[in-house]
Structure 1
């Protein structure tokens, strides 16, 4: 055949069509498209796929067998965190987000609206109250995207390209932010001092080209930044913005960053009523003050009260639609990307069910459980805390003077039905406690670690 038959759905599998595509984009081969992906992350050889499954029953059996290999946090005592947290999810959350008018196939976009806009407006309002900010977006894809977007906003607002990170941030978050902004912004990382920002080093790094001072609190290791007001002042004195990445879970008890000078607050909402689910449902929030300079730089959607054609009648709809890439397309300041509207509704239901009193009690409980865990783990012979900062939910424990490495200790405790935490560089372990981890659970962890270390 002179003209190869093109598959109606996968046209790039036909060799001639594939060559035509490569020629059009100026690539020698398909490998050029994957140049940024390290070879260590690529699949070598063929995929390990099963033989063809000829019936739905066989497929269900195969998939169930794979899923049954997983051990959930209901089956094992878990102290895993590092970005995905085992907080309690009230049953009402799952009930509401399982309703057909909310549970949709893609990005929470129904063909008809049966209250979704209002539900997201309520979510935004409660998040604004929790964070003491005026404007909160409809959730972005995840907290990493929200952080990268917040920093990009700072670059556009200030006309500068420098980012100074003064906290220990999740390495995955730093990697994602770097990928997002590397073509138009420069990231400088200042090592922490005793878990929190090194003020002297930060002051030296913040300069005339700094667009944002990026503060992560709690840090990747759970440390709460107690010098936030001073860092925000250093940013403002240099003409930069204070961008604070955070988790909103404890702001019923903690002073929100807006109160100590944050210009933009961002992060993930997984802790607000969303299960862990093999990495968690993710949703990113960006919060700003009621200032057009900031609001009009937000690329993601905002829902608010709007008047209709009928005098005195109001509804819920998009606010400042013409600033988004939906309206501007390729001329937009930034592409919105996939929204996580369903998780915004989940977080809204969670916040409504908890209320101000519930969120305050939760924040106090998390602080108390974390302090107790730090005390008990520090009392284990051979273990030391990595720093003396105030921590929320997570603690880094140093095994340098222990009889086992942190990796070996994880293996030993895992054999006893306990997931003790995430191994960190430097022979350390990141231990996470939530309100679902009791004082007795913490005692069990400390006692088991003591026994395992004595055995070796």
Structure 2
């Protein structure tokens, strides 16, 4: 303990205080607290840590200095999406989710439930209306987990162990699903049409079998195009005794039919487009929705909130539905899956966003995004050597820009765009090598005509450089 100094922020690090606390519990040293840990895995030397700051002010300045190195979307134009999107966040969303009873509450338990159960019930109801389903869970950690959980639900319902997924999906999402489903559930990729990006139905029919638990596809797809064969894909799944599981971007549902109207049994998606800031890649949250049928409801691993009678006749409250089916119930080892802390705060935020927008607002949002993204495709196609959209057909929000004929690599173009204060699209050359030098661009309601025109001029200069 020679040269020991107390920690400036932790009062009980003072040596005298430690001795008094150890004496109270019958120990002589801090090391005795960890006596059960094998000696061979204990760290023998000190950790090489920088000296602690002696004041809160110094610490704050240090952290702010680090954060100032970030290049953000406030001072740069952003056309990067690929799972984390720049949408406008109404001030009301931040106002409500920063309230103490929501921001600091944990899991919605009775000791901190000041409307949290009801807020989550309202969120579930609003998302259910948006996707045209009956039951929606409290949020998962992100959309990838929601998709993985959805196909595991399908596997338990069908008692099968294979899931067909599109090759034209986010590779990181595929790896998350693969990891989450291993080792008892196998994901099999289905090819896509190189002209329009649509799921290859011939390849799908070859790969579907009596082992298929579900066919998972996304609409809009990761590459932005709208999947036009949704009903046929669902029919193929149902004819094989499998379920149709569809991943959806909720910001598209003001203008696109919800997957329930083309055969989806389970719907999953990201909540981030619904009033949630990007937060340096954070702000992620996912949802799952099904019909109100026992075979689906009882396979949800996460919490569901419903209206329930109270001990006072004629009075109703909000509480858990079929709580024992979750890993939070009394028999955790019998839970469908283990579910840890979820992103309830983002569910409440999404609920506020949907209540604020309403059906008309969601329609205007979708319409605006489609108009602006189509304008961007048209303008980019005017650049010599650039194809504004690699795939034929209609896109929503995102689209693949083909730079192969420019002789420039996407990596180089993006570097030059950064110098001009623009975040270019996601480089697809690694995850989709068959597309060559292509990038996934994203246009939302926040982009003006001037923003898009500025991008076009900047790319023209980059490909000539």
TM-score, reference length from structure 1:
0.89
Q: Which moved more, 1:298-307 or 1:47-56?
A: 47-56
Distance 1:439 1:48, change over 3 A: farther
2:406 to 402, 408, 413: 402
The yes-or-no answer on 1:439 pairing with 2:449 is yes
Counterpart for residue 112 of structure 1: 112
Partner of 2:148: 148
Instruction: Output the TM-score relative to the length of structure 2.
Output: 0.88
2:441 aligned with 1:421 = no
On the 8 A contact 1:424/1:430 being kept in 2, the answer is yes
Residue 276 (structure 1) shift: 0.6
Corresponding residue for residue 384 of structure 2: 381
Q: What is the aligned length?
A: 427
Instruction: Please give the residue correspondences for 1:41-440 in structure 2 after superposition, counting only pairs within 5 Å.
Output: 50-104=50-104, 106-107=106-107, 109=109, 111-166=111-166, 168-193=168-193, 194-327=196-329, 328-384=331-387, 385-425=389-429, 426-440=436-450
* Cα pair distance change 1:319/1:108, threshold 3 Å: closer
Q: Assess if the C-alpha contact under 8 Å between 1:160 and 1:210 holds in 2.
A: yes
Q: Deviations over 1:86-118 (max 9, x none)?
A: 100000110011111111164555723111111
CA distance in 2, matches of 1:263, 1:412: 45
Structure 2 counterpart of 1:42: none
Deviation of 1:71 (Å)? 2.0
| Deviation of the 1:286 alpha carbon | 0.4
Query: CA RMSD, aligned part only?
Result: 2.1
Kindly indicate whether the alpha-carbon contact (under 8 Å) linking 1:366 and 1:392 is maintained by their aligned counterparts in 2: yes
Q: Please tell me whether the aligned partners of residues 106 and 112 of structure 2 are also in contact (alpha carbons under 8 angstroms).
A: no
Q: Which moved more, 1:62-71 or 1:48-57?
A: 48-57
Q: Deviations 1:39-91 (Å, cap 9, x if unpaired)? A: xxxxxxx9996443232222111100011111221211110111101100000
Mean Cα deviation higher: 158-167 or 268-277: 158-167
Post-superposition shift, 1:18? Answer: 3.2
- Answer yes or no: is the 8 Å Cα contact 2:301–2:339 preserved in 1: yes
Structure 2 residue matching 1:101: 3-state secondary structure: helix
Question: SS of the counterpart of 1:128?
Answer: helix
Does structure 2 conserve the Cα–Cα contact (< 8 Å) formed by 1:141 and 1:337?
A: no
Q: Check conservation: 1:211, 1:241, Cα contact below 8 A.
A: yes
After superposition, the Cα gap between the structure-2 partners of 1:8 and 1:149, relative to the gap in structure 1 and judged at 3 Å, is farther
Q: Secondary structure at the match of 1:111?
A: helix
Structure 1 gaps, min length 5 = 23-28, 31-45
Per-residue deviation, 1:433: 0.6
- Whether 2:34 is the aligned partner of 1:17: answer no
> Retained in 2: the 8 A contact 1:325–1:335?
yes
Q: Which runs of 5+ in 2 are unaligned?
A: 1-26, 430-435
Instruction: Give me the whole-angstrom Cα distance separating, in 1, the residues matched to 2:39 and 2:83.
Output: 42
Rounded to whole Å, the distance in 2 between the matches of 1:397 and 1:391 is 12
Shift of 1:171: 1.2
Q: Which has the larger radius of gyration?
A: 2
Q: Partner of 2:447: helix, strand, or coil? A: coil
Seen in structure 2, the aligned counterparts of structure 1 residues 432 and 307 have a Cα distance that, compared at 3 Å, is: same
Question: After superposition, what is the alpha-carbon deviation per residue over 1:328-374, rounded to whole angstroms, capped at 9, x for unaligned?
Answer: 21111111222111100000000000011000110111111111111
Equivalent pair of 2:79/2:443 in contact (CA under 8 Å): yes
Distance change in 2, residues 1:318/1:273 (3 Å) = same
Partner of 1:74, secondary structure, is: coil
